[in-house]
């Protein structure tokens, strides 16, 4: 435990200036995401998706951001998975992007909705065939007898769809997280971090600086 307690680092003297704080949080988000991608960081589009179950117990997992539009953030999953059931039951979720090398973090809370079937099918068609087959083979998060059976199912489906287009299953598709709150966090030396929060009020973004 002492080893953990003594583990620390300084974040640097970079700052989030008033000039950098845009009126629209999506603009600042895109700037930070592009910086993470251009830095060569692995999995820059990875985000933690947090939900609560029917007993109000929290749950979280890492998923990949696949698109951003003027309304929100899009990811794809199995519609019968626990994450989907939890998200649709509560109607709201939280996202967290963390870019360690840049000492940056973005927290987002928002409502969740399914994207159009057409959009889901278009994205599914762009995926590698191996990923498409895996989607058909896996009833996500359900208990399986062993891995060998799963591998056999993949082999069977690969043979079945040989030289054929693989259809997007009805139980798979995209979600859009429509934000009502952002928080941009920039780590600074001595833990005097910069934190800027955007809150949506009457269709306008209210911008606030927060104490570290």
Active site residues: 191
String of DSSP letters for the chain: -HHHHT------S----GGG--SSHHHHHHHHHHHHHHTT-TTTTEEEEEEE-TTS-EEEEEEE--EE-SS-EEEEEETTSHHHHHHHHHSEEEEEEEEGGGTEEEEEEEEEEE--HHHHHHHHHHS-HHHHHHHHH--TT---S-HHHHHHHHHHHHHHTTTSPPPPPTTEEEEEEEEEEEEEEE--GGG--EEEEEEEETTEEEEEEE--
């Amino acid at each position: 435990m002492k080893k953990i307690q003594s583990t620390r680092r300084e974040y640097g003297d970079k700052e989030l200036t008033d000039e950098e704080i845009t009126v629209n949080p999506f603009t600042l988000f895109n700037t930070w995401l592009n910086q993470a991608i251009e830095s060569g960081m692995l999995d820059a589009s990875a985000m933690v998706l947090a939900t609560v179950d029917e007993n109000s117990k929290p749950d979280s997992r890492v998923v990949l951001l696949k698109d951003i539009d003027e309304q929100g953030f899009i990811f794809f999953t199995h519609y019968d998975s626990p994450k989907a059931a939890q998200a649709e039951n509560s109607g709201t979720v939280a996202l967290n992007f963390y870019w360690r090398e840049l000492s940056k973090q973005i927290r987002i809370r928002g409502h969740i909705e399914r994207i159009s079937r057409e959009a889901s099918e278009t994205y599914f068609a762009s995926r590698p065939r191996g990923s498409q087959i895996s989607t058909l083979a896996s009833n996500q998060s359900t208990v399986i007898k062993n891995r060998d059976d799963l591998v056999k199912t993949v082999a069977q489906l690969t043979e079945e769809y040989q030289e054929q287009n693989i259809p997007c299953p009805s139980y798979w598709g995209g979600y859009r997280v429509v934000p009502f709150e952002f928080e941009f966090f920039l780590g600074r030396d001595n833990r005097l971090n910069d934190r800027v929060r955007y809150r949506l009020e009457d269709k306008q973004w209210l911008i606030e600086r927060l104490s570290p």
